[in-house]
């Protein structure tokens, strides 16, 4: 049979943009594309392999023989091999067999731009196309408002493989099944957004999806690409945004993946000090190479463009920013200025955010970044990295550390809770209680809490109440919303049977109501990234372990006063200073009986007195429930 027919989707302009690292829609050109040439239907293939001396498309259709369908190298020095193969179409299984001009190495690789991959553990690519009919016009038209930084933004983090299993058949739920069960649940729980741990194709389940081989393919574990679009579409029709975890920081060294692609260090940096992650035993992209920047930015754009995704949570940003990340002296080389910053990676991040927001100004990028690197969520023109938000890892660490302590010791550690407000407005922070906090012996969130069963769950309710009234957007990992007692198991399913018990149903109801409270009270979100939206009433009562503060919106009438009693000792006739005189009304009580609280500590007389307290002219006596949060508004 003849070699692939000479044919190209690339224009000279495409090639120049690709070489310059400025082509951000490479998925429209690379990979496999079903088309018609000379009135014959078939598939066009294009792959980047500049160190190859030959590239063949192999698959079932040619008995995996490399002599059958060899691609043609372009004459322009781009390193692109391409060609049209007639009479093969959707569903065709294939790989690229690449003979390298370096050391006579031969590799068999999956297509880096494949839109569908075989179900793991099989590793080939699949020719694919779909013409999904989107039904989310209303959401897309209005999502700028729903994704705005002054809007409520409460995220339910989900690992699709372990949220719920099909019990009888002990299998994953499909994208289509999740479009029923998961969408209805997220809507019932009143979250504004859902975030999926990586759904791009990955070979190894214990990686949780964070080591990718198919950057452009939704994993086949749960169905087809159009099924995943249906899932996103269904969320949108319910008014719920969809965020994807995205991993441009590293990739695995599996034989069929991107590593040593054409017999050379094509995607990974050739210097292991920049090209190999010692912690994760994975490879690091060569951010200084133009074509790699174009590949990664095209991938980010692809999910926003083709799948209507509303945000990208970018994984392991800290590992990209610093040359010495998790390396000892002598294992890294300073940049040209003698510093530890990875300048090429920083430039890539800025370029990625610039293009994302230029093309999709109504989405958000969110950095999982654990260091004190400045201006992560500040505009690039202001010297920032250009992310929309950043995870507030310090808040998470300090808050969980505080809540783990027996209440008798909390009086000595109140600063653990108050310290976050010293820097809360230096970034657009998201408060995460993520999957990383409930694995590897860290226990579940409720498992970290001290005391007897009632106290542990009261502590959990108090933690969530503090989280939802603290400045910043919110993220909660699956299972936390009903007090999952065991650590997260990626192979299993959430322990839904726990909802047979009132104490777990109480936590679930609390989270549902906190989401509603957050969404309906402008003071909790309008100025969530501004110091103007927060003021302490009293952060100094260490002895009683009580905190009080108020959240402020655009209108003074929307302001919310919050009081936390962080011990199991009720505080009756506890006086707090007030910002002004007036009558108050209780708008939230984490100790309500419907949450499995005591429901015993009433506050019926909520009229201020002209009695100076906490340097304020007016004050009020309250009955504070044990391990409880009360929130008030002026009538």
Under DSSP, is residue 481 helix (H, G, I), strand (E, B) or coil? helix
Return the residue matching tokens 């949108």.
Answer: 236
Q: In the beta sheet, which residues pair with residue 589? A: 630
Dist CA 304 CA 299 (whole Å): 9
Contact indicator for 608, 581 with CB cutoff of 8 Å: yes
Contact 378, 385 (CB under 8 A): yes
Cβ 300 vs Cβ 352: under 8 Å? yes
Residue 47's φ and ψ, nearest 5 degrees, are -145, 145
Cα(116)–Cα(219) distance, integer angstroms: 8
Q: What are phi and psi of 225, to 5 degrees?
A: -55, -40
| Residue in 310, 315, 351, 427 annotated catalytic | 315
Contact indicator for 386, 353 with CB cutoff of 8 Å: yes
- E strand segments, 388-483: 389-391, 429-433, 473-477
Run of H or E residues at 407: helix 407-410
Angle at 55 between CA 49 and CA 58, to 5 degrees: 125
User: Which one from 14, 68, 344, 368 is the annotated catalytic residue?
Assistant: 368
Exposure letters 186-225 (e unless 16+ CB within 10 A, then b): beebbbbbbbbbbbbbbbeeebbbbbbbbbbbbbbbbbbb
Range 354-362, long-range pairs (CB < 8 A, 24+ positions): 354/380, 354/386, 355/24, 355/297, 355/300, 355/301, 356/300, 356/301, 356/304, 356/312, 357/386, 357/388, 359/24, 359/301, 359/304, 359/305, 360/301, 360/304, 360/305, 361/144, 362/143, 362/144, 362/147, 362/310
CA angle, residues 102, 106, 112, in degrees to nearest 5: 100
Spatial distance between the Cα atoms of 231 and 226, rounded to a whole number of angstroms: 9
Identify the sign of the CA torsion 439, 444, 449, 451. Answer: negative
What distance, in Å, lies between the first and last C-alpha atoms of the chain?
A: 83
- Strands (DSSP E) along 167-237, which ranges? 171-172, 193-196, 200-201, 214-218
User: Does residue 213 contact residue 256 with C-beta atoms inside 8 Å?
Assistant: yes
Looking at 419-573, list the stretches that DSSP marks H as alpha helix, in order from N- to C-terminal side. 453-469, 502-520
Contact (CB, 8 A) for 117 and 217: yes
398 is catalytic: no
CA distances from residue 437 to 113, 458, 536, 627 in whole angstroms, order as listed: 33, 19, 29, 22
Rounded to whole angstroms, how far apart are CA atoms 56 and 70? Answer: 4
Indicate if 368 belongs to the active site.
yes
Sign of CA dihedral 481, 155, 239, 230: negative
Distance, in Å, from the CA atom of 469 to the CA atom of 563, rounded to the nearest integer, reads 10
CB of 160 closer than 8 Å to CB of 478: no
The crossing angle, in degrees rounded to 10, of helices 290-306 and 12-20 is: 110
Name the strand (E) or helix (H) holding 143.
helix 137-146
Q: Provide the annotated active-site residues.
A: 315, 368
């Amino acid at each position: 049979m003849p070699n692939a027919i000479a044919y190209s989707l690339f224009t000279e302009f495409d090639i120049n943009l690709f070489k310059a690292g400025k082509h951000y829609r490479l998925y429209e050109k690379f990979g496999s594309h079903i088309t018609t040439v000379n009135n014959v239907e078939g598939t066009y293939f294009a792959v980047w392999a500049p160190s190859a001396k030959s590239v063949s498309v192999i698959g079932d259709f040619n008995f995996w023989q490399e002599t059958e369908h060899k691609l043609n190298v372009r004459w322009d020095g781009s390193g692109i091999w391409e060609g049209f193969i007639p009479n093969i179409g959707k569903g065709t299984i294939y790989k690229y067999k690449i003979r390298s001009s370096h050391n006579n190495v031969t590799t068999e690789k999956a297509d880096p731009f494949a839109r569908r991959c075989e179900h793991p553990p099989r590793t080939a690519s699949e020719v694919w196309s779909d013409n999904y009919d989107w039904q989310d016009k209303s959401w897309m038209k209005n999502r700028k408002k729903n994704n705005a930084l002054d809007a409520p933004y409460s995220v339910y983090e989900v690992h699709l493989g372990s949220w719920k299993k099909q019990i009888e058949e002990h299998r994953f739920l499909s994208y289509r099944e999740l479009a029923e069960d998961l969408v209805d649940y997220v809507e019932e729980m009143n979250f504004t957004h859902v975030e999926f741990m990586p759904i791009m194709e990955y070979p190894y389940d214990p990686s949780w999806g964070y080591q990718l081989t198919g950057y452009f393919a939704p994993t086949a574990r749960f169905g087809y690409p159009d099924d995943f679009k249906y899932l996103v579409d269904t969320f949108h029709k319910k008014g719920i945004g969809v965020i994807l975890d995205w991993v441009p920081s590293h990739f695995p060294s599996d034989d069929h993946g991107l590593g040593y692609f054409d017999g050379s260090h094509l995607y990974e940096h050739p210097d292991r000090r920049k090209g190999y992650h010692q912690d994760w035993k994975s490879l690091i992209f060569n951010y200084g190479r133009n074509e790699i920047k174009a590949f990664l930015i095209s991938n980010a754009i692809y999910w926003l463009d083709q799948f209507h995704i509303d945000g990208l949570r970018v994984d392991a940003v800290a590992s990209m920013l610093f040359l010495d990340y998790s390396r000892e002296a002598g294992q890294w080389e300073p940049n040209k200025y003698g510093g530890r910053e990875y300048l090429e990676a920083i430039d890539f991040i800025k370029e990625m955010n610039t293009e994302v927001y230029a093309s999709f100004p109504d989405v958000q990028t969110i950095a999982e970044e654990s260091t004190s690197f400045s201006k992560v969520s500040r505009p690039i023109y202001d010297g920032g990295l250009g992310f929309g938000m950043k995870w507030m890892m310090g808040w998470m660490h300090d808050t969980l550390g505080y809540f783990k302590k027996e209440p008798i010791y909390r009086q000595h550690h109140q600063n653990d809770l108050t310290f976050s407000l010293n820097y809360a407005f230096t970034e657009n922070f998201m408060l995460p209680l993520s999957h990383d906090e409930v694995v590897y012996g860290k226990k579940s969130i409720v498992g970290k809490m001290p005391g007897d069963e009632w106290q542990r769950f009261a502590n959990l309710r108090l933690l969530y109440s503090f989280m939802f009234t603290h400045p910043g957007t919110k993220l909660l990992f699956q299972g936390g919303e009903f007090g999952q007692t065991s650590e997260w198991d990626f192979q299993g399913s959430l322990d839904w049977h726990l909802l047979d018990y009132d104490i777990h149903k109480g936590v679930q109801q609390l989270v549902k109501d906190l989401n509603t409270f957050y969404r309906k009270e402008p003071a909790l979100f309008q100025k969530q990234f501004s110091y103007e939206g927060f003021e302490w009433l009293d952060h100094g009562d260490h002895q009683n372990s009580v905190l009080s503060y108020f959240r402020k919106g655009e209108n003074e009438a929307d302001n919310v006063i919050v009081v936390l009693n962080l011990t199991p000792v009720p505080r009756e006739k506890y006086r707090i200073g007030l910002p002004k005189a007036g009558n108050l009304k209780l708008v939230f009580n984490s100790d309500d009986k419907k949450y499995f609280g005591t429901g015993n500590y009433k506050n019926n007389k909520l009229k201020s007195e002209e009695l100076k307290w906490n340097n304020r002219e007016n004050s009020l006596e309250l009955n504070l429930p044990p391990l409880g949060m009360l929130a008030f508004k002026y009538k």
